[in-house]
Amino acid sequence: MKKLLMIPAALLLSTAAAAPKISAQSIIVNPTQPDLNVSVRINKDSTGSQNPAYKIGEKAVISTTVNRDAYVYLFNVNPDGSVDQILPNRLSDSDSNFVKAGTTKSFPAEGDGFEYTIAGPIGQNKVLALASLTQLKLDQISSFKTSQDQFATVNAKNQAGLAQALSIVVTPIPQNSWVSDTAFYTVAAQNPVSTGSLFVGTNVDNATVILNGQRLGGANVTYNNLRPGSYPVRVQAPGYRDIATTVAIRAGTTTNLNAEFATVATPAPAPTPSQYTVSLRSNVAGARVFVDGTEAGTIRNGGLDLKVSRGGHEIVLVAPGFRTFVGNYNVTKDGQITINPTR
């Protein structure tokens, strides 16, 4: 939860395993459908299927239930794209995120001595619960910005960045030992307003939202100051069929639309592209290198040679104690790049 006030009182197992999916609603999904289940709820919505509104200053409680003993990790994707790690946090005990099978645990629980108070910014929020049969190490994806912060900040921005970061975190554990769930809520303005908001979530990049014939912009963001009413909406993405529906905009609330794209058809295999050598240099020995979501090797002796095709590529460096580095490069010839992540 963005600016919650504390008041005292990818990649799985091996290349043969199916990679995590990015879902418009659930952010990161385990495609194997394990027998481990988790549900997350916010106190104004007992069903988990609604989108309740909170005013700034209201108290909130998040509850989770699991069908097996598991460790539960909670994250909040804020309207501005930043991501907070709600649990564990600085005030939680070492086992505060351990939930027994068949039980519901609330955060904060009665008697914890602190409360969650909603603050800004206004707009659509998502709470992601990630349950694992074993404890996860999150220090490679999140950190406390100052010594006074009670909540860690995830280095990656927006739901796609969070999904990629968590894909790396679950790499070492068995594929059937983790699962996720998502709840939604809106932070509304204090005073009554005459306009509403629209949030469109997608599972692909570069999607475009068109409302009532006018282009709003990209997906996975909140659009404010919309006049209440019923409007046609179309969501487009390169290589996918358009998704068209109708949404109702209501004053003072955020309408949530999940646009789940499916591919039009399997394209014909592209010709094998030319290969280039990119010499990656880094001062972080042992850093793991990922190219376009696939692990490519480890930094040894100050570097690693990568074989990549012509065109754009995403390079990610992950190392304990360092901020996760994510960069995009357009490769047109052999060359060298230097990446030195910061702590």
The per-residue pLDDT for range 159-202, each reduced to its tens digit, is 778 888 888 888 788 888 999 999 999 888 776 678 888 999 89
Strand 303-309 relative to strand 335-338, pairing: unpaired
- Phi, psi of 333, rounded to the nearest 5 degrees: -165, 170
DSSP labels for 252-303? TSEEEEEE---BSSPPPPPPPPPEEEEEEE-S-TT-EEEETTEEEEE-BTTE
pLDDT given for residue 7 in this prediction? 37
In order of 92, 171, 290, the CA distances from 325 in angstroms are: 28, 17, 10
Structure tokens at 34: 């394990």
d(CA 341, CA 287): 9
Is this prediction's pTM over 0.85? Answer: no
Name the more confident of 173 and 93: 173
pLDDT score of 10 more than 50 = no
Instruction: Give the HSE-up count for residue 147: Cα atoms under 13 Å, Cβ half-sphere.
Output: 0
3-state secondary structure of 159: helix
Question: Domains in the chain, please, with CATH?
Answer: 5-188 (2.60.40.2550), 196-259 (2.60.40.1120), 275-338 (2.60.40.10)
Per-residue model confidence as pLDDT tens digits over 303-338 = 999 999 888 899 998 988 888 899 899 988 888 999
3-state secondary structure of 163: helix
